[in-house]
Chains A and B, each alone.
Chain A
Amino acid sequence: MLRPSVSVLLFAALALGSFLVFRYSSTRTVKAESIRPASERKPAPDFALKDADGRTVHLSDYRGKVVLLDFWATWCGPCRMEIPWFIEMQRENKDRGFEVLGVSMDDNGWEDVKPFLAEMQVNYRIVIGNDRTAEVYGGVESLPTTFLIDREGRIAVVHVGLTSRKDIQDGVEQLLQAGSKVDIDRSMVSALSLRTR
């Protein structure tokens, strides 16, 4: 019989003891991912997403540049820790053919994201992502998830979760220098060609 006033322990009634038992493993120690050899890199899927000005952004627009593609959200503490690093990386490496591109997974979209961008003075492009984008990138199940993409538009490394600033910077530098090395090699070939004439 239900008494006129009753406290219900949702714990007992819900029978959802297992719903918060995640399938994700959290306690393992994760070693930083390494840059994959060029021959093992797969193409980064293209997308068409809107930025804060309503312009459509395609990943393919960035071909020829090293891209740090960051899936994040305003409600994600680890994401918020990394973003200042990315702001600095964008400032320091923009002239070397590097771009950060943020994909926000905020359900409330620009309503939540624009104030955050203003507060943090984010200096790189942000687009609003969707389930389809996450799906083509292998199913982005947790945030932050960061892809480093080489100048040929291939995924060189994926970092899932908060990663050390140094590991990300080292990866960016490695990809930037790979592009520089190609340029140096080409100029040497040109110089040799001139000399042999």
Chain B
Amino acid sequence: MTVEPGFHVNSNAPSEDYLIPLKVAWTSKGALEGGDVVYPRASSEKYEFSDKPLSVFTGTFEIAANFKVAAGAPAGPGMAAGKLSYQACNARMCFPPAKVDISVPYQVD
């Protein structure tokens, strides 16, 4: 994922309770199990509007998920689906929380 220069999204573990975290939630996993999400390491950035540094993601970063194929899963293609929610700001303003659909195609042989 890429966040444009000058912008940031709150990390999955924001430094303040009132901040909306970035989060991946699976809605369907198909023939897969697990899906534990591995978030990248966050940056600690200080902004004018905050007394203390915030835990954020900036620039380009990767989010990974660990799946395994369920026992007895049928061969063939499938799709795990979910939602990525996030909330972004720049140094002066914040934008509404957003959710986007995500999908992970797979093939069980």
Contact = CB atoms under 8 A, between A and B. Distances in A.
B97 interface: yes
B68 A4 contact: yes
B6 interface: yes
B25 interface: no
A88 interface: no
A162 B1 contact: no
B99 to A, nearest CB: 11
A79 to B, nearest CB: 7
B100 A19 contact: yes
B6 A10 contact: no
Interface stretch (A23-31, A45-53, A168-176, A177-185): A23-31
A103 to B, nearest CB: 14
Contacts of B16: 77
Contacts of A1: 107-109
Contacts of B54: 77
A160 B67 contact: no
The A contact surface, by secondary structure, is loop
Nearest to B96: A105
Interface string B63-104: 111111100000000000000101111111111110010111
B109 A77 contact: no
A141 B98 CA distance: 12
Contact of B63 (A10, A73, A74): A10
A6 B63 contact: no
A192 interface: no
Given A2-B69, A21-B2, A76 B94 contact: yes
Given A9-B62, A20-B3, A81 B97 contact: no
B69 to A, nearest CB: 5
Size range of the interface on B?
35 or more
B42 interface: no
Contacts of B18: 74-75, 80, 112, 116
Nearest to A142: B93
B1 to A, nearest CB: 6
A107 B97 contact: yes
Contacts of A81: 48-50
Contact of B62 (A11, A80, A107, A162): A11
Contacts of B47: 77
Nearest to A20: B3
Given A10-B65, A80-B18, 14 more contacts: A4-B68, A5-B67, A5-B68, A7-B67, A10-B24, A10-B62, A13-B104, A14-B102, A19-B100, A20-B4, A20-B88, A78-B93, A142-B94, A162-B91
Interface of B: 1-7, 9, 16, 18-20, 24, 34, 37-38, 47-50, 54, 61-69, 84, 86-97, 100, 102-109
